[in-house]
Amino acid sequence: MPLTDILADRLLVYRFFLAAFFLWWGWTVAAGDLKIKKIPNRKILAGLAAAFTALLLYALETVLGGAGVSTDYLRWSFFGYYFASLAISSAVGIFLWYGEVWPAGDAKFFMASLALLPLINYQIRSFPRTLWLSILINSFVLGAVYYIYSFLVQTYRGWKSGDQDRLRKWEGIRRDLAAGLDSLRGGNSGKAAVFGVSLFLIFFLYKTVGFALTGRLQHLVPDINLVFFLLFIGWDKLSRFIAGVKFKSLVGLLVLGYFGYGLLNFRSELLLSVQYSAWNVLKFSVILGAGRFVLVYLMEKFSTVEVSAAEVAPGMILSQRYFNIIRRDSFFKGSFEDSFRDGITEEEAAQLKEWVARIPHESPKIEVMTGTPFAVWIFAGSLFQLVFNGNVFTSLGRLAGRVAGL
């Protein structure tokens, strides 16, 4: 295409500069987070300012297009889809922050990235409903691949060099896995069965609502991937709720009544719901087990270091184990509410030092996280979506289809 034609296509020029900005901006945010473990608000605002500027330029082109001046412009419907996507991604980002999955800076970086991606490629896959989910899938899967690779490499190096610290960590993993299997054999199988039945009831109700709502109301039914996401992220809190007597009694009565009515009036649809629910319980169990082992257990196991009281500093993120210890200790009542999300404050660091000084132990240590910041994986996941126009699984599916067609 001649240069004059490229310059005449103003939307293409806008997208080119916005893509270049995203590469520079995303890299500086991720690199800065690696270096100082913090994402300044000014960098988030820079990304949002670029998105707002591009949005104004696109809107101007649409106005000019309506007046017959421009021939290359977006329909007004795009802007409605864009703001819907922005609202969903903002809600998800806030949920991830308050769910103690990501620190505030990473959640804001996630939201700002999703504000830019549809403006770079306004036909990007999964836009507008589930673009946020594709970025999350990419971020978590790429992070998981990295941690599995690091785990295998570090284990091999530790075995070759006789590194006792690495070997102790591997032995700890082996013991934890063995203890988990023993607990299932020794009586916790009943607890697992309760969770399985509770999940079955949730998926069964989801399918029932899907059957009940027809026509335009069908859009009110969330995507099953959203249900999986909410269950996975909120499992620690949700598992306590669904194991409760009230939940099991209420949902159990509803489902039994529905079963009785369904067997008499719509047996085939009922059997479909049962098969669907059982299959999703199996899928979610695999996702939950594998995901939490890689993203929670392995990541923390190989990203945790011990620091002395003198080394404790604001911004540090405590390990989940130490965070749980502190939450149970009455000494810290009312403190450390946001420390897992945003790192400890100066006051909390001083309080932690005072607490450590009371421990009757020579040079007690505190566990803190030093792993790769989430911003790196958010940026990597966003780039993957831009380059391959899909998440990891859809891209692998397309690749498998091409290989099968050879």
Q: 404: burial class by Cβ within 10 Å (0-12, 13-18, 19+)?
A: exposed
The verdict on 12 and 107 lying in the same domain is: yes
The verdict on 330 and 295 lying in the same domain is: no
Closest CA to 306 of 370, 353, 350, 374: 370
Could you give the CA distance from residue 109 to residue 40 in angstroms, rounded to a whole number?
Answer: 10
Closest CA to 25 of 40, 44, 6: 44
The verdict on 81 and 10 lying in the same domain is: yes
Give whole-number Cα distances, 167 to 156, 219, 302, in Å.
10, 52, 12
Residue 180 has a pLDDT of: 61
Residue 327 lies in a domain: yes
Mean pLDDT of 333-343: 61
The verdict on 169 and 105 lying in the same domain is: no
Q: What are phi and psi of 304, to 5 degrees?
A: -105, 130
The verdict on 320 and 275 lying in the same domain is: no
Q: 363: burial class by Cβ within 10 Å (0-12, 13-18, 19+)?
A: exposed
pLDDT at 312 exceeding the cut of 60:
yes
pLDDT band at 25 (very low <50, low <70, confident <90, very high): very high
The verdict on 234 and 119 lying in the same domain is: no
Residue 306 lies in a domain: no
Residue 145 lies in a domain: no
Mean pLDDT of 79-104: 88
How is residue 224 written in tokens? 């099953």
pLDDT band at 96 (very low <50, low <70, confident <90, very high): confident
Residue 156 lies in a domain: no
Mean pLDDT of 314-339: 71
The verdict on 167 and 296 lying in the same domain is: yes
Give whole-number Cα distances, 257 to 134, 278, 371, in Å.
38, 19, 50
What b-and-e string marks burial along 269-307, b requiring 16 or more CB atoms within 10 Å of the CB?
Answer: ebeebbebbeebbeebeeebeebebbbebbbbbbbbeee
Q: 49: burial class by Cβ within 10 Å (0-12, 13-18, 19+)?
A: exposed
The verdict on 255 and 316 lying in the same domain is: no
The verdict on 286 and 167 lying in the same domain is: yes
The verdict on 125 and 231 lying in the same domain is: no
Amino acid identity, position 116: L
pLDDT at 147 exceeding the cut of 50:
yes
Residue 164 has a pLDDT of: 67
Quick check: pTM over 0.85?
Answer: no
Mean pLDDT of 190-217: 71
Could you give the number of structural domains in the chain?
3
Residue 3 has a pLDDT of: 47
Domain of 48 in residue numbering reads as 3-140+374-405
Domain final residue, candidates 275, 301, 327: 301
CB atoms within 10 A of CB 65: 16
Closest CA to 110 of 138, 82, 144: 138
Amino acid identity, position 76: W
Q: What are phi and psi of 361, to 5 degrees?
A: -150, 140
Q: What are phi and psi of 359, to 5 degrees?
A: -75, 125
Nearest 5°: the CA angle 67, 68, 71 is: 125
Mean pLDDT of 316-330: 74
Q: What are phi and psi of 13, to 5 degrees?
A: -65, -45
Mean pLDDT of the chain: 79
Instruction: Quick: pLDDT tens for 351-382.
Output: 888 777 777 666 677 777 766 678 999 999 99
How is residue 211 written in tokens? 């059957």
Residue 307 lies in a domain: no
Pairwise pLDDT comparison (17 vs 332), residue with the higher score: 17
The verdict on 46 and 80 lying in the same domain is: yes
Domain final residue, candidates 245, 266, 301: 301
Amino acid identity, position 241: F
Extract long-range pairs of 351-360: CB within 8 Å, 24+ residues apart: 352/309, 352/312, 352/326, 353/309, 353/310, 353/312, 355/329, 355/331, 356/309, 356/312, 357/309, 358/331
Q: What are phi and psi of 221, to 5 degrees?
A: -80, 120
The verdict on 350 and 400 lying in the same domain is: no
Confirm if 204 and 196 have CB atoms less than 8 A apart. no
Could you give the CA distance from residue 207 to residue 271 in angstroms, rounded to a whole number?
Answer: 11
Residue 158 lies in a domain: no
Question: In the chain, what percentage of residues exceed pLDDT 70?
Answer: 79
